Structure 1
Amino acid sequence: MTGFVDLRGVRLTYGGTADGTLALDGLTMAVNKGEFAAVVGPSGCGKSTLMKLATGLMRPQAGTVEVAGKEVAGPVSIAGMAFQNPSMLPWRTTLDNVMLPLEIVQPHRSRLKREREAYLKKAEDLLALVGLRGFGQKFPWQLSGGMQQRANLCRALVHDPALLMLDEPFGALDAFTREELWQVMRDLHAEKGFTTILVTHDLREAVYLADRIFVMSARPGKVIMERKIDFPRPRPIDLTYEAGFNDIVHELRGYIAEARAAA
């Protein structure tokens, strides 16, 4: 099967030498256009490495990585990325932090000076969409961790990426804030329709947000099973406390426990 993001037979060794650490071996997965996919697995199984491969920050020693039908040979300009640490630049306002990708990514970089007002409005609209209306002139140190992560999502989306890569973006937040941001992410995906790959250790997060979950083996990582999530959208947060939801969480936990035991 060919997807919008397509990895086939991927092998990657850190250091690129025979005595390096084999991180991925025979990794194959395909994520469809507009799909919200989650990747889970034991610690150290290569989930974050997969993300770097899909965005062109790393190259495999074997196998192929394609995004939007093109083999990845360098950084993927149609991708946005958000990490566990928002990494907001402290000397820039929240609005200026959100605008940062527009100063780097083409064709926005070439248009920014003459279309600045339109881009500013776009960034402010995104901030409003995630509940940060009126906070654009605040500096990162004036925002809570949850507010910084909301701004981080806006920064990842301001250049209209076709692909959004999320690497444990909510892992450092308290449980209540985390659930709030799950709902923000749910609504952003519904409105914008971008393809999303979420790397997470939180199985509740994966089941709540994803259309399909890929479970990886222990290192060297590869996909050992896929689980389709059929709960209708939009999903209320109360779903996460229902028996059917938690049955899937426990099922996934069982697969990961088996993968760890087999390592």
Structure 2
Amino acid sequence: MGDHLVRIENVDMRYGGEGGVLAVSGLNIAVEKGEFAAVVGPSGCGKSTLMRLVTGLHIPQTGSVVVAGQQVTKPVSIVGMAFQNPTMLPWRTTLDNILLPLEIVDKHRKRLRAHKAEYVAQAERLLEIVGLKGFGDKFPWQLSGGMQQRANLCRALIHEPELLMLDEPFGALDAFTREELWQVIRDLHAQQDVTIVLVTHDLREAVYLADRVFVMSARPGRVLHEHKIDFPRPRELELMYDPAFTKKVQELRGEIADARQVA
């Protein structure tokens, strides 16, 4: 058994009380430290429920969720999150938006006032990694959607989380911007020693970025298949023209098509 950072065991999660919607049932997932995992499946399969369970925003009715050796009973502070629509505060500069989690996470809030310069330098370093060097003083409305999403990744990483949860982060972007950001997240994973769980509808994205891809069933969601992705790293975009890459994407597409039939 590897060193698991996330372990979900036999979890049922129902919304809206006893007669409510069963979102996931018998859900089992384990993600190792440093791994890049992707979760795919038909719409409504419980991918977002999975995000909420791991981050402690929802506590399951049955089964257990363990993150970094701790049973999850409340929101988890070692997690950074990035979603499809980056909600940047329009009255704050990009830099101040990135620093926002530090004002919320307890251990950082206490240090922020005394060590602001150190955190600003860290934010500037992240901006440089994602290709936004020099944009820290710009306001969100001065940034394109792709640039906002880059800043959103910096904000998710500023408090040095051990685990980064990405929920369809590139879904609203055009194909070229999305592929640029795939390379950004690939490099972040390589450089930051962070474990990543990506929820996506984009099967090419999943195969390009992940070490393992979990395929979920239709609601109530559970894991039907698990794929180890063996393409060597660092992966270049040309990989997507490789017949073995296309074959893996088609295999996933077939499994999801089957999963949609089986409710």
TM-score of the two chains, using structure 2 as the length reference: 0.98
C-alpha displacement of 1:34: 0.4
1:251 maps to: 251
Question: What SS does the aligned partner of 1:125 have?
Answer: helix
1:12 maps to: 13
C-alpha displacement of 1:13: 0.5
C-alpha displacement of 1:161: 0.1
Which structure 1 residue ranges, 4+ long, deviate > 2 Å from structure 2?
none
- The answer to whether the aligner puts 1:3 opposite 2:4 as a matched pair is yes
1:180 maps to: 180
CA–CA separation in structure 2 for the residues paired with 1:79 and 1:250: 32
- The answer to whether the aligner puts 1:121 opposite 2:121 as a matched pair is yes
Amino acid at match of 1:164: L
Q: Deviations over 1:50-109 (max 9, x none)?
A: 000000000100000000011001110000000000100000000000000111112111
CA–CA separation in structure 1 for the residues paired with 2:238 and 2:142: 31
Structure 2: unaligned runs, 5 residues or longer: none
C-alpha displacement of 1:10: 0.3
Corresponding residue pairs, total: 262
Question: What SS does the aligned partner of 1:179 have?
Answer: helix
- The answer to whether the aligner puts 1:208 opposite 2:240 as a matched pair is no
1:26 maps to: 26
C-alpha displacement of 1:145: 0.3
1:78 maps to: 78
Deviates more, 1:132-141 or 1:235-244: 235-244
1:92 maps to: 92
Matches within 5 A, 1:34-183: 34-183=34-183
CA–CA separation in structure 2 for the residues paired with 1:57 and 1:47: 14
CA–CA separation in structure 2 for the residues paired with 1:157 and 1:3: 20
Q: Deviations over 1:17-70 (max 9, x none)?
A: 221001000000100000000000000000010000000000100000000011
CA–CA separation in structure 2 for the residues paired with 1:193 and 1:38: 17
- The answer to whether the aligner puts 1:239 opposite 2:215 as a matched pair is no
Amino acid at match of 2:243: A
Name the Cα RMSD after superposition. Answer: 0.8
Q: Deviations over 1:155-186 (max 9, x none)?
A: 00000000000000000000000000000000
Question: What SS does the aligned partner of 2:24 have?
Answer: strand
1:223 maps to: 223
Amino acid at match of 1:150: R
